[in-house]
Structure 1
Amino acid sequence: MLGAATLAVLFILALQQALQQAFSLALEDTIEQRLAADVSTLISAARVEDGRLHMPDHLPDEEFTLLDNKLFGYIYDRDGHLLWRSASTHDLDIDYLPRYDGDKNRELHRVRDANGVKLFVYDMEIDLLRGEDAAYSIVTVQPSRDYDAMLSGLRKQLYVWLGGGLLVLLVLLWLGLTWGFRTLRGMKKELDQVENGERERLSEDHPRELLRLTRSLNRLLDSERLQRERYRDSLADLAHGLKTPLSLLQAVGETLSSRQQNREQVEIMGNQIERMNQQIGFQLQRASLRRSGLIRHQVVLAPLLDTLETALDKVHHGKQVTLERTLPDHFTLPLEQGALLEVLGNLLENGYRLCLSRVRVSARRLSDGDILVVEDDGPGIAEDQRERILRRGERLDTRHPGQGLGLAVVKDILDSYSATLTLDDSPLGGARFMLFFPR
């Protein structure tokens, strides 16, 4: 709309200049014809006797004789000496000198008199007058104030009419573009619904110019959905295929552990089997919680916090942990619900396990993204250890069972959503995990 409006304004400005120039040229041509006719009047009245010019006291055109008239006449010889002037020029003083060169020139000039008044001057050269040699420059003069007034009036009219036309044109452009792009707005609405998970495909209710685009997007959506389903099914089949042999190995290990000499080897084998189980679980979580390429989710944070708080209070019922919240109303995060539950569950479980009595969750919305902060009043994490615990398999707390995959899962999920995770000290005294989700 801005581009179309700019082009329309430039076109109207160019049209106004063209119309004004065309009217100015037409008006000057009319004035030139008028002054040329007046020159003809002076020529018809002039006569030459004994090589001298004679003009009658009363000219056929009375405009040359009236003192308050707006038409003036002069006759010069070939040397530029003034031979005759009309009675109407008694108070007119112009700085004009005709240039006689024998080429019978006819020229229209614009000059100013001594008072600065603009004048049109028409100069015609003649060589013959009633068959006798007569080298004269016959000049007629007319003030340009009427011309300037007409041109100013035309300019004002052009501003009014072209300005009004421009407004009408802009309104029509706005209506036309609004009507023309309504189908794109419909497609945008459907894409928003696809991103929000409200529909799976775009409809076919679009103009034929857009059908190829919508069909290509539908093929992309179908392909992505099928690919993700095959990926998850393949991993599930792999996990199922591996769990049975692992269970058998565990059973064999339990049988062998009854013998004293085999306990050390059985313990090593059990640890490795448990590690394999953890790795399988980690890869399944990673596959199921990664971000979709086209679907954009918005999950309300408060209900998930309620669910997690209830579960963690039961697990750590003997600790009496207080979960503090600082959240805007209806605050949402751009993650799939399962992914957000996994991320928040891991961070809160770490906070509940390591805190003294307080865990705080806060969030705020910035112009360039959303921030989620989880912190506690526990012992905190040394600065030289912060990068290490985000690696897969690294654990600082060895008193509780686990393979150190929780924060690795969190970081992997956040990476798939182009989000960042930073770790520093909390004002509560413990660790602070800060998650930033860019827009």
Structure 2
Amino acid sequence: MLLDSLHGRLLILETLVLAGFLGTAGVALYNAFRNSAETAMREKLQGHVYALLAAADEDKDGKMLLPKILPDTRFTNPTSGLYALVVANSGTFRWRSPSLTGQTQKFLKPQPPGAISWHYWNVDERTMLVLNYGIIWEDYQGQGIMYTFAVAADIAPLTNEIQGFRQTLWLWLGGLAGILLIAQGVILNWGLKPLRQVATDLRDIETGAAERLTGQYPKELQGLTGNLNALLNNTRTKQQRYRNSLDDLAHSLKTPLAILRNAPSQPESFQEFFVLVQEQVSRMDAIIQHQLRRAATVGHGPLARAILIRPLIERLTRSINKVYSDKHKQISLNIAPKTRFFGDEGDLLELLGNLIDNAFKYGKHQIQVSAYPAAKQEIHPGLILKIEDDGPGI
């Protein structure tokens, strides 16, 4: 499954982000274009009203007179989808464009002077956008006559333009999404190549084809590969030490075993034989204990647990202070709270226990324990320990 793969997870996440971004961008662009197209159409209708007003004249009685030759030739074509109607609000005047011949004229809604209204008008399975604009016209006698100019336009061309833009927009965005997904797949494949190389190198180590990770890895993986190599080296060192300890143990036991094997053939008393057996058994036990201690002394590995020094020393000094309570020693600790030791806690306790115990034995009044990193590096910086007392010294 894709979710079982880091490559698959990243690809799914990037696909979702890309789909969300391009989808949002597509909707925003579509809405912006549609609003712009609708605004442009409304401005055109207003321009037609102003053009009719500019072309209007007066007859001999001072009433409005519109010319036979109109500013836009579409007003003369019944199939153009552009219509105009001018009506006096009092009903004494009515003019229509030639394009309205045979068409219904019910889209006009009288408006007071200066008022503008917009509405959609459905007729004969068509949808019209209608502008009604109210004006006042003064005749020769100075009397104001209120007129309403109505201009209607079929929105089918606008709808087709918007639909065409939408199809083109989503086609381009879909193509862009496909190209970006392919590019992201290539980039992810290239970017995750070092991880696959690490996995391949580890398989080589498992099969014995390699002993360590030797590839050229990016700096983000160098900490991981470095620790893995250190762990491998530490494991091999332990195995070699155990092997050497077993060899030494076998070699050391040869002599006691040979003595015990030859003992029954010697003309000795039972008591002497018993003492001999006891001696050799004790010797073999000492040899075994010695080799076990050698095998256990392995130092700390590359992934050793970090131990806070100060709490450990505080517990240790409290315990030792109880043993030497009659000496009334003053103990001071010069240890930062976050100072750490990377290694075995038992080894550290044994070392510190011996040194602090000697300070209690041979010091006079003051004992100071100091601990600080040996280097400034963050990983395994080493540790410097100082146990000082005011005794006479050795």
**Residue matched to 1:117:** 126
Q: Distance in 1 between matches of 2:92 and 2:234?
A: 98
**Please, which runs of 5 or more residues in structure 2 have no aligned partner?**
1-10, 297-394
Closer, same or farther in 2 for the Cα pair 1:95/1:247, shift >3 Å? farther
Matched residue type, 2:235? E
Matches within 5 A, 1:199-238: 199-231=210-242, 233-234=244-245
User: Which digits, 9 at most, give the CA deviation of each residue in 1:172-226, with x for residues without a partner?
Assistant: 2233333333333322211222233322221251233432332232223223333
User: Which digits, 9 at most, give the CA deviation of each residue in 1:405-428, with x for residues without a partner?
Assistant: xxxxxxxxxxxxxxxxxxxxxxxx
Closer, same or farther in 2 for the Cα pair 1:231/1:116, shift >3 Å? farther
Cα deviation for residue 119 of structure 1 reads 1.8
Q: Distance in 2 between matches of 1:211 and 1:80?
A: 91
Q: Distance in 2 between matches of 1:201 and 1:211?
A: 13
Matches within 5 A, 1:87-166: 87-93=98-104, 98=109, 100=111, 104-106=114-116, 108-109=118-119, 111-127=120-136, 133-166=144-177
**Residue matched to 1:295:** none
Closer, same or farther in 2 for the Cα pair 1:39/1:190, shift >3 Å? same
Q: Distance in 2 between matches of 1:219 and 1:20?
A: 59
Matched residue type, 1:172? A
Contact 1:204 1:214 (C-alpha < 8 Å) held by counterparts: no
The structure with the larger Rg is 2
How many percent of aligned residue pairs carry the same amino acid?
27
Q: Distance in 2 between matches of 1:48 and 1:96?
A: 25
Closer, same or farther in 2 for the Cα pair 1:114/1:71, shift >3 Å? closer
Matched residue type, 1:25? N
**Residue matched to 2:359:** none
**Residue matched to 2:204:** 193
Cα deviation for residue 105 of structure 1 reads 4.8
User: Is 2:77 aligned against 1:66?
Assistant: yes
User: Which digits, 9 at most, give the CA deviation of each residue in 1:277-317, with x for residues without a partner?
Assistant: xxx9xx9xxx9xxxxxxxxxxxxxxxxxxxxxxxxxxxxxx
**Residue matched to 1:44:** 54
User: Which digits, 9 at most, give the CA deviation of each residue in 1:36-88, with x for residues without a partner?
Assistant: 11111222244678999634362523432332222112345669999544332
SS in 2 for 1:141: strand
TM-score, normalised by the number of residues in structure 1:
0.48
Closer, same or farther in 2 for the Cα pair 1:76/1:243, shift >3 Å? farther
**Residue matched to 1:31:** 41
Number of equivalenced pairs? 278
Q: Distance in 1 between matches of 2:262 and 2:61?
A: 145
SS in 2 for 1:202: coil
**Please, which runs of 5 or more residues in structure 1 have no aligned partner?**
260-264, 288-439
Contact 1:94 1:114 (C-alpha < 8 Å) held by counterparts: no
Cα deviation for residue 32 of structure 1 reads 1.8
Contact 1:95 1:114 (C-alpha < 8 Å) held by counterparts: no
Q: Distance in 2 between matches of 1:191 and 1:246?
A: 45
Closer, same or farther in 2 for the Cα pair 1:69/1:248, shift >3 Å? same
User: Which digits, 9 at most, give the CA deviation of each residue in 1:107-138, with x for residues without a partner?
Assistant: 554x2413331222233343566997454442
Contact 2:194 2:218 (C-alpha < 8 Å) held by counterparts: yes
User: Which digits, 9 at most, give the CA deviation of each residue in 1:235-268, with x for residues without a partner?
Assistant: 6656766786677678779999x98xxxxx9xxx
RMSD (Å) for aligned C-alpha atoms: 5.1
User: Which digits, 9 at most, give the CA deviation of each residue in 1:335-391, with x for residues without a partner?
Assistant: xxxxxxxxxxxxxxxxxxxxxxxxxxxxxxxxxxxxxxxxxxxxxxxxxxxxxxxxx
**Residue matched to 1:15:** 25
Matches within 5 A, 1:318-397: none
Contact 1:112 1:118 (C-alpha < 8 Å) held by counterparts: yes
Contact 2:135 2:148 (C-alpha < 8 Å) held by counterparts: yes
Closer, same or farther in 2 for the Cα pair 1:221/1:133, shift >3 Å? farther
Closer, same or farther in 2 for the Cα pair 1:15/1:249, shift >3 Å? same
Closer, same or farther in 2 for the Cα pair 1:79/1:226, shift >3 Å? farther
Contact 1:183 1:206 (C-alpha < 8 Å) held by counterparts: yes
Matched residue type, 1:6? L
Contact 1:39 1:138 (C-alpha < 8 Å) held by counterparts: yes
Closer, same or farther in 2 for the Cα pair 1:56/1:128, shift >3 Å? closer
Closer, same or farther in 2 for the Cα pair 1:228/1:108, shift >3 Å? farther
Structure 1 window deviating more from structure 2 (40-49 vs 161-170): it is 40-49
SS in 2 for 1:113: strand
Contact 1:77 1:136 (C-alpha < 8 Å) held by counterparts: yes
Cα deviation for residue 97 of structure 1 reads 6.4
Contact 1:48 1:129 (C-alpha < 8 Å) held by counterparts: no
Q: Distance in 1 between matches of 2:144 and 2:265?
A: 142
Q: Distance in 1 between matches of 2:264 and 2:108?
A: 126
SS in 2 for 1:126: strand
Matched residue type, 1:60? L
User: Is 2:181 aligned against 1:170?
Assistant: yes
Q: Distance in 2 between matches of 1:46 and 1:75?
A: 11
Contact 1:74 1:82 (C-alpha < 8 Å) held by counterparts: no
**Residue matched to 2:389:** none
